Amino acid sequence: MNVLNFGSLNIDLVYQVDHIARPGETIASSAHQVFAGGKGANQSAALARAGARVFHAGQVGPDGQWLVDKLAGLGVDVQHIRVGDVPTGHAIIQVDRHGQNSIVLFAGANAQIDRGAIDTALSHFDRGDILLLQNEINDIAYIIAAASERGLTICLNPAPFGPEVRAYPLELVDLLIVNETEATGLAGASTLAALAALCPHAQIALTLGAAGAQYHSPTEEFDLPAPQVEAVDTTGAGDTFIGYFLHGLTANMTARDAMARAVQAASLCVTRPGAMDSIPAADEID
């Protein structure tokens, strides 16, 4: 079973600060680092580190080849990533002394993917394969519809959430993974019941940060707590959870076992700085 992740690739500019800057305030940063990032790329890295066979599709600019090379080095198949003329997407990330973050995102090349590239990438996958999507690239609704026609299993993580998500063909989604903010934006409340009313046929995973995660399907529902750890940087935690959870499902784990492994991986991720670089390897979890 293959996973096609059609998603973003970003350059993350991370600044360590005492507190997140308030409107009108100028603050000093005690450190600056550059990381590979983007929710799409992070989730492909997490899938690969968890042990999945993952293909990444997307677009970078001339300044982003090193991101493609980094994913390839992690074991991600990058044949469906294109290099265009628009600069690579990037994120400006403030991380405060408690490990909480604030992010400004510039889409760049992530918003310039044409339908020819979409159709070409999808043509290599068929029924039984999984499509993973976030909300950092353009034409999500088209990708969902085209993938559904090919019989792919569709997993959606609508992050970062925007009102356009409500117009996506959510009835075609087989697995929905959201945090509390995304759940509230999508369904009006951060509860499994509200999400299930919106996507009654889908598996749903609701992540709750330090409180763990919740799961719902038409046949099962449960909660799992998270280990208590000292957070350094929460930037890649959700992406780590998604990669490990989705790999567990592709490896025929039960939903409970897949989620338990994903929660452990996300908890370890937040004890390290960065996004992609903080994702743990499978042997660290197992």
Q: Where in the sequence numbering do the catalytic residues fall? A: 239
**Cα distances (angstroms) measured from residue 165 to each of 13, 89, 132, 219, 247:** 27, 20, 15, 26, 25
DSSP letter for 91, please. E
CA distances from 72 to 5, 44, 78, 244 (A): 14, 10, 6, 18
Enumerate the H helices of the chain as residue ranges: 39-50, 65-73, 115-122, 140-149, 180-187, 192-198, 237-250, 255-269, 282-285
Residues 6+ apart with CB under 8 A from 252: none
Q: Which residue has the tokens 């300044």?
A: 63
Q: How far apart are CA 198 and CA 194, in angstroms?
A: 7
